[in-house]
Amino acid sequence: MDLLPHGPRPVRARVLSVDDIAEDLARQVEPPGWQDRGFDARAYLAQSLAVSPLGPDLPVLFVFDNFETLRNPVDVFRWISTNVRLPNKVLITTRVREFQGDYHVTVGA
């Protein structure tokens, strides 16, 4: 549900896996060859997590909101954690209290 000022609105998850995340990133960033048949969006995401696609002096903050909506958030977290390299960073938000990443930040009401 999206909670809008005029009331709640039902939504459907569109990004459910690492492959979905990778394809969404490619659509947004439009790297060279991204529309070619052989383009490997997953490899592009892994490379982008390791080395900033914006250039070596421009680190990227990857934000994954509503992480609990993924099919297997633990596996996706492990994949992201395996591939991300400094100076890039990852911020994950979730409503699931049991899920904790490397640095837990509690946000009060």
Amino acid identity at 31: P
Q: What is the pLDDT of residue 96?
A: 77
pLDDT in tens, 64-104: 988 888 999 989 999 999 999 999 999 998 887 776 666 67
CA distance 83 to 11: 30
Who has greater pLDDT, 52 or 3?
52
Q: Indicate the average pLDDT of the chain.
A: 88
pLDDT at 13 over 90: no
Measured CA distances, 78 to 4, 56, 72, 88, 101 (Å): 32, 24, 10, 16, 10
pLDDT in tens, 21-71: 999 999 999 999 999 999 999 999 999 999 988 887 899 999 998 888 899
- Report strand pairing: 89-92 vs 61-64: parallel
CA distance 14 to 104: 26
DSSP secondary structure string for all residues of 28-80: HH--TTTTSTT--HHHHHHHHHHS-TT-TT---EEEE-SGGGSS-HHHHHHHH
